[in-house]
Structure 1
Amino acid sequence: MVDSWRLRIQHKTGFTYAGQVASSYNEARMSPRNEPRQAVLETQVQVWPAARTHRYEDYWGTQVTALDIHDPHDQLEVTATSTVETLPPGDLIETGGGADWATLAAPDIVDQWYEVLLPSPHTTLDDELTALAESVRAAHATPHAAAMALCEKVREEVAYTAGATGVQTDAVQAWRQRKGVCQDISHLAVGLLRATGIPARYVSGYLHPNLDAEIGVDVVGQSHAWVEWWVGRWTAFDPTNGVPVGARHVAVGRGREYGDVPPLKGVYSGPANTGQSVEVTITRLR
């Protein structure tokens, strides 16, 4: 019997300003979408102050809620509430399985996944990391085996440390200080994978923190990040926790890096932004 989970996620975030803002234009990427391993039963986004919203799917396939406010306001709060049925990892690729190196190097494959083979601002590597990627590639017969080894290496070397970095930290900075958050660890893994010639993308979403979650108990959850790589098909892995993506994970968006999938971003006309608040509550319903 498949051990599915049903999760309710409430994600509150927003900005406060030093005075009255005349107008603001924002995009929220906080709504999960239906996928093979997750079914969205309900999702809604509420905005305060009240705003006109419309929803669309962006270039990378992430569901976006766009909103604009034209009444004076000194605070913006966006709350996304979703109920999602999730599945365990399922059909995992064996260590020696998946496409071989020659397949990934074929011109049609390189052309198909070109955008997720190139370095991006937060996943660009230095000489040391490039050499590491090349050495891991040389030591493994298949891309999938190399990908798993790279994720293990990152997890061994970079300690998860809450608050150690900010949204502007890149892969090289996280590697040099040997600590970071899930965003940094995923940027680093993505950069290393691409440097070996493996198409890789950054995934944002949520993670229930407890392996044995109690039914009906609200817990402080996390906005989370992990990676996916293509070796004949896409496979997902959480390098921060060293596990395949499973029932505790809810995917929201994919892209080259965090900059393609921020939960909330926008522009406004008015005084300085004095801070951003984030609160995620996750409840296992069954």
Structure 2
Amino acid sequence: MTVASWRLKIRHQTGFTYAGAVASSYNEARMSPVNDARQAVLDTRVEVWPPARTYRYEDYWGTLVTAFDVHTPHESLTVTATATVETLPPGDQLPPNGGASWAELRAPQDRDRWYELLLPTPRTAIDEELTELAESVRAAHPTPHAAAMALCERVRDELTYASGATGVQTDAVQAWRQREGVCQDFSHLVVGLLRSIGIPARYVSGYLHPTPDAAIGDGVVGQSHAWVEWWVGRWTAYDPTNAVPVGERHVVVGRGREYGDVPPLKGVYAGPANTGQGVEVTITRLR
């Protein structure tokens, strides 16, 4: 059987503007897709303005980091990442009763193996109300995978997607209480709920082509996107914001415990105040 892959070209430009000349800045960009089982990176590069020497390394979580320092006075900083990636549709999907059992997830070897992905973080910690919700879903489903899918459905039912409703510092409890947020909030909330009932979960950062039947050759405004993966004997990827399995429209850049492990651009600088950050993502389906 022939598997219909997509080839996507991604251009992601971001940066900062300042209230005056910055003397120096030290930065890390996590904007380069990674090779894995369902995507192959054909080319990728990161360009910086003002010009700076860059070097790359793979961080603790396996994300490719482009690090650079700028030591010439500058009133703005621009980072442009481009990549061409071959992606695959969703693979075999686990049935609701598939995957590891609750007892298997409680086994010491599995809890030790995924210990860091079972702990709450500042953005994924949940409160008593959410803990009770997660426990009720756990009790109602015979397998961890079935419970995970049910929690994704519950979050999607309860939250409204609202661009600009939250910021990068918003945590899962805040998003739940206001019942709206963006993909980051949907993902933090699902990750927190999963971990609370003993399912190892990780936050995934990347890109999403917005059109399921995208025309070839047309560049469209794409999105920096986030989704989740959980471990039930194997890793399962799901996009709770759009209620779809991760497939040919998704491109992985990084994985971690939460957004704080995979921000597209972060750094420190000496100089006047930061007056804003711009982001522009364009995605073109090449085939």
Quote the residue 1:182 is aligned against: 183
Secondary structure, in 3 states, of the residue corresponding to 2:155?
A: helix
CA shift for structure 1 position 91: 1.4
Quote the residue 2:46 is aligned against: 45
The answer for unaligned runs of 5 or more in structure 2 is none
CA shift for structure 1 position 116: 0.4
d(CA) in 2 for partners of 1:89, 1:112: 26
CA shift for structure 1 position 75: 0.6
Quote the residue 2:11 is aligned against: 10
Q: Counterpart of 2:7 in structure 1: which amino acid?
A: R
CA shift for structure 1 position 94: 1.1
Tell me the alpha carbon deviations over residues 153-205 of structure 1, each in whole angstroms, 9 at most, x when there is no partner. Answer: 00000011111111111000100111000000000000000011000000000
Q: Counterpart of 2:52 in structure 1: which amino acid?
A: A
Quote the residue 1:165 is aligned against: 166
CA shift for structure 1 position 281: 0.2
Secondary structure, in 3 states, of the residue corresponding to 1:85?
A: strand
Quote the residue 1:259 is aligned against: 260
d(CA) in 2 for partners of 1:76, 1:84: 26
d(CA) in 2 for partners of 1:28, 1:193: 29
The answer for unaligned runs of 5 or more in structure 1 is none
d(CA) in 2 for partners of 1:160, 1:272: 31
Quote the residue 2:195 is aligned against: 194
Secondary structure, in 3 states, of the residue corresponding to 2:83?
A: strand
CA shift for structure 1 position 25: 0.3
Is 1:94 the counterpart of 2:99? The answer is: no
Tell me the alpha carbon deviations over residues 122-173 of structure 1, each in whole angstroms, 9 at most, x when there is no partner. Answer: 0000100000000000111000000000000000000111111111110001
CA shift for structure 1 position 92: 1.3
CA shift for structure 1 position 63: 0.3
d(CA) in 1 for partners of 2:14, 2:227: 21
d(CA) in 1 for partners of 2:257, 2:193: 13
Equivalence map 1:55-70=2 (5 Å): 55-70=56-71
Equivalence map 1:272-283=2 (5 Å): 272-283=273-284
Quote the residue 2:144 is aligned against: 143
Quote the residue 2:28 is aligned against: 27
Q: Counterpart of 1:43 in structure 2: which amino acid?
A: T
d(CA) in 2 for partners of 1:127, 1:251: 32
Quote the residue 1:271 is aligned against: 272
d(CA) in 1 for partners of 2:104, 2:200: 12
Secondary structure, in 3 states, of the residue corresponding to 2:186?
A: helix
Quote the residue 2:246 is aligned against: 245
Of all paired residues, the percent bearing the same amino acid is 78
CA shift for structure 1 position 93: 1.0
d(CA) in 2 for partners of 1:46, 1:274: 22
d(CA) in 2 for partners of 1:73, 1:162: 31
Quote the residue 2:230 is aligned against: 229
CA shift for structure 1 position 90: 1.2
Tell me the alpha carbon deviations over residues 19-69 of structure 1, each in whole angstroms, 9 at most, x when there is no partner. Answer: 110100000000001111000000000000000100000000000000101
Q: Normalising to structure 2: TM-score of the pair?
A: 0.99
Quote the residue 2:72 is aligned against: 71
CA shift for structure 1 position 119: 0.3
d(CA) in 1 for partners of 2:160, 2:221: 21
Quote the residue 1:112 is aligned against: 113
Secondary structure, in 3 states, of the residue corresponding to 1:46?
A: strand
Q: Normalising to structure 1: TM-score of the pair?
A: 1.00
Tell me the alpha carbon deviations over residues 224-282 of structure 1, each in whole angstroms, 9 at most, x when there is no partner. Answer: 00000000010100000000000000000000000000000000000000000000000
